[in-house]
Amino acid sequence: MDLHLEHLTLTYPDGESSLTAVDDVDLTVPAGSTTALLGPSGSGKSSLLAVAAGLTAPDHGVVRFGGEQVFTSATPAARATRERLNRIGMVFQSPQLLGSLTALEQLELHAHLRGRRPASVRSRALELLAAVGVADHRHKRPAQLSGGQRQRVAIARALVGRPEVLLVDEPTSALDHERGTQVVELITQLARELGAATLLVSHDASTLTTADRTVRMRDGRIEEPAGTVAA
């Protein structure tokens, strides 16, 4: 299912005035493809991602999955939470794994959040951990894993619920160039296999060689028209 961001605008209060973080953005990410969103700090990339994930309600505009309107300025927080759980996978800047859970449990948690038995996703979780190359570390907690291994577990966690949309925020910021490139390659490959529309925010273009499309943002606006292939 394609991800459509339509006329999205987001402002934050800034003292007595306001700051426009996202300024009338239109962007479409086709299902099964990865769109990289590049731009300097403060350009609005992460804010756009937050709106696409329903973490922040936009002032104006609509987020659609296929033809279905999912998030608007009026979407209640509880509904946004449900949509994230059922339809969106998220990978954060730092892996943000839960300290008391093993790698396998990080993935099984998704089933528990959906009211299912954790064991119901065990085989899928093991497959994904194998796909990201950390199956041997499935019983380790985050403190026992390296930074790269933690990020791989986070990617597997984002995909365990077979999301329609995958939103990735600066996944390579804590990794060296080689590992960063590998992580982006892994994300694009798994997103393709899964058919998920993937929006990947980064500030490092050199790691994005496998992304299907690159879009640049500056001052809250998309610099290049959506659909431009720049990779």
Residue numbers at the binding site for other proteins (CB under 8 A): 12, 46-47, 49-50, 53, 55-56, 78, 81-82, 84-86, 88, 90, 92-94, 96, 98-101, 105, 108-110, 112-114, 118, 141, 157, 169
Query: Per residue in 145-156, is it b (16+ CB within 10 Å) or e — as a string?
Result: beebbbbbbbbb
Q: Decide whether 202 or 212 has the Cβ nearer to other proteins.
A: 202
Q: Decide whether 18 or 81 has the Cβ nearer to other proteins.
A: 81
Q: Is 115 helix (H, G, I), strand (E, B) or coil?
A: coil
Q: Decide whether 108 or 212 has the Cβ nearer to other proteins.
A: 108
Q: Is 204 helix (H, G, I), strand (E, B) or coil?
A: coil
Q: In the complex, what is the shortest distance from the CB of residue 33 to other proteins, in angstroms, rounded to a whole number?
A: 22
Q: Decide whether 144 or 209 has the Cβ nearer to other proteins.
A: 144
Q: In the complex, what is the shortest distance from the CB of residue 204 to other proteins, in angstroms, rounded to a whole number?
A: 15
72 and 58 in contact (C-beta within 8 Å)? yes
Q: In the complex, what is the shortest distance from the CB of residue 74 to other proteins, in angstroms, rounded to a whole number?
A: 18
Q: In the complex, what is the shortest distance from the CB of residue 122 to other proteins, in angstroms, rounded to a whole number?
A: 14
Smallest CA-to-CA distance from 70 within 53, 49, 56 is with 53
Residue with tokens 């990978």: 91
Tell me the CB-side half-sphere exposure of residue 73, using CA atoms within 13 A.
10
Q: Is 67 helix (H, G, I), strand (E, B) or coil?
A: coil
Q: Is 69 helix (H, G, I), strand (E, B) or coil?
A: strand
160 and 196 in contact (C-beta within 8 Å)? no
DSSP string of 148-203, one letter each residue: HHHHHHHHHHHHTT--SEEEEE-TTTTS-HHHHHHHHHHHHHHHHHHT-EEEEEES
Q: In the complex, what is the shortest distance from the CB of residue 227 to other proteins, in angstroms, rounded to a whole number?
A: 26
Q: In the complex, what is the shortest distance from the CB of residue 56 to other proteins, in angstroms, rounded to a whole number?
A: 6
Q: Decide whether 27 or 212 has the Cβ nearer to other proteins.
A: 27
Q: Decide whether 88 or 197 has the Cβ nearer to other proteins.
A: 88
